[in-house]
């Protein structure tokens, strides 16, 4: 017994079982912990039963995960709205407005009146962090790692600005208030639909799972839009004039929302960049040639060591730990 394991005296069987379950799932569990767990299991039949109950609950929640998460989000939406009233705009936004007027405006916002201009709400995630957002209009957004959104909900439109980042949007239908996303040199226009929008290293990728999304150059709001519908993916590079449309498995692009990165014939450099944003150590390819290796596979993003192990098994590269991160190198010989 290491002393870190749950003691036999504290709490009922359910609590002790929960403590063991969590301890043994942790990255720091040792062989000693498992031996102590074995002694605990053998000590009373109720212990084994309590532990098995947890295991079957755990597995049950796996098989129902998508429906559970959707139901939890739905249950949380009204609560989230109540918990986050629109933030009072900071005064520095109106350097030209007198303090009394600013105070009056702040009071107006507080009472739910929406003046112009309204400062955007900023949502951002750190590398490795994924967030679920419930916007006040009912739109659900999952924000992928290392991403930033500025959101302004006003009476005539819902406006989002996205810099470098990725998010999956499930936009609440509201014909009177279009949902507009400013991303790179393009504008995405939505009425109500579900899509994934990725803007990384100057490349925009828009994948639609439900409904129709329109995309225009940001500086030509009257131009004829490119229309992307379900099962399609649009790609565009900042600064170029054209866009490309392809038929895809839309679910692939949403894989990250359930802890999976799905690649079909993508360069290894993209995989490395995605993983770098997700884990603590920067991951790079040894040279441009290695970066061009094509990769196809699904990476479950549970932890860095396991992901690198799978990447090695699928792609024929070796992950080498160096002082400032991880370098992917072509394996010298096939396994």
**Rounded distance between C-alpha atoms, residue 253 and residue 174, angstroms:** 25
CB of 167 to other proteins, least distance (A): 15
Q: Which is nearer to other proteins, 56 or 241 (CB)?
A: 56
Tell me 119's DSSP state.
P
CB of 197 to other proteins, least distance (A): 19
CB of 62 to other proteins, least distance (A): 6
Residues 6+ apart with CB under 8 A from 294: 265, 266, 267, 268
Residue 55 interacts with other proteins (CB under 8 A): yes or no: yes
Q: Which is nearer to other proteins, 32 or 240 (CB)?
A: 32
Rounded to 10°, the helix 13-25/45-63 angle is: 60
CB of 166 to other proteins, least distance (A): 15
Which run of H or E residues covers position 83?
helix 65-83
Look up residue 164 and give its two tokens.
Answer: 């470098």
Cis link prior to 117 (omega < 30° from 0)?
yes
Q: Which of 3, 9, 10, 25 binds other proteins (CB under 8 A)?
A: 25
Residue 313 interacts with other proteins (CB under 8 A): yes or no: yes
- Which has the closest alpha carbon to 34: 43, 45, 23? 23
Residue 120 interacts with other proteins (CB under 8 A): yes or no: no
Cα radius of gyration (the chain): 25
**Rounded distance between C-alpha atoms, residue 120 and residue 287, angstroms:** 41
Q: How far apart are the first and last CA of the chain?
A: 40
Q: Which of 42, 97, 107, 220 binds other proteins (CB under 8 A)?
A: 42
Q: Which is nearer to other proteins, 159 or 278 (CB)?
A: 278
Residue 28 interacts with other proteins (CB under 8 A): yes or no: yes
Contact region with other proteins (CB under 8 A), list: 177-185, 208-216, 261-269, 297-305: 297-305
Q: Which residues bind other proteins (CB under 8 A)?
A: 14-15, 17-19, 21-31, 33-35, 38, 41-42, 48, 50, 53-65, 67-69, 71-72, 75-76, 126, 128-130, 258-259, 280, 300-303, 305, 308-309, 312-313, 335
């Amino acid at each position: 017994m290491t002393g870190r394991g749950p003691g036999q005296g504290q709490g009922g069987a359910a609590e002790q079982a929960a403590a063991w379950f969590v301890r043994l799932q942790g990255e720091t569990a040792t062989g000693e912990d498992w031996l102590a767990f074995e002694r605990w299991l053998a000590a009373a039949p109720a212990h084994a039963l309590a532990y098995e109950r947890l295991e079957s609950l755990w597995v049950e929640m796996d098989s129902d995960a998508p429906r559970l998460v959707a139901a939890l989000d739905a249950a949380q939406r009204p609560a989230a709205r109540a918990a986050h009233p629109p933030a009072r705009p900071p005064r520095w936004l109106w350097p030209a407005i007198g303090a009394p007027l600013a105070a009056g405006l702040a009071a107006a916002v507080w009472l739910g009146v929406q003046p112009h201009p309204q400062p955007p709400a900023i949502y951002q995630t750190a590398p490795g962090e994924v967030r679920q957002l419930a916007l006040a209009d009912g739109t659900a957004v999952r924000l992928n790692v290392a991403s930033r959104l500025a959101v302004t909900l006003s009476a005539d439109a819902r406006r989002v600005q996205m810099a470098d980042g990725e998010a999956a949007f499930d936009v609440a239908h509201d014909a009177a208030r279009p949902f507009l996303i400013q991303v790179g040199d393009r504008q995405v226009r939505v009425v109500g639909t579900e899509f994934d929008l990725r803007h990384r290293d100057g490349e925009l990728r828009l994948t639609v799972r439900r409904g129709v999304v329109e995309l225009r150059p940001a500086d030509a709001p009257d131009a004829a839009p490119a229309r992307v519908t379900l099962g399609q993916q649009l790609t565009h590079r900042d600064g170029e004039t054209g866009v490309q449309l392809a038929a895809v498995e839309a679910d692939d692009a949403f894989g990250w929302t359930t802890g999976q990165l799905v690649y079909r014939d993508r360069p290894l450099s993209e995989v490395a960049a995605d993983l770098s944003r997700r884990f603590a150590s920067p991951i790079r390819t040894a040279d441009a040639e290695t970066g061009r290796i094509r990769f196809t596979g699904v990476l479950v993003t549970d932890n860095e060591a396991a992901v690198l192990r799978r990447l090695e098994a699928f792609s024929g590269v070796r992950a080498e730990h160096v002082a400032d991160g991880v370098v992917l190198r072509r394996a010298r010989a096939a396994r």
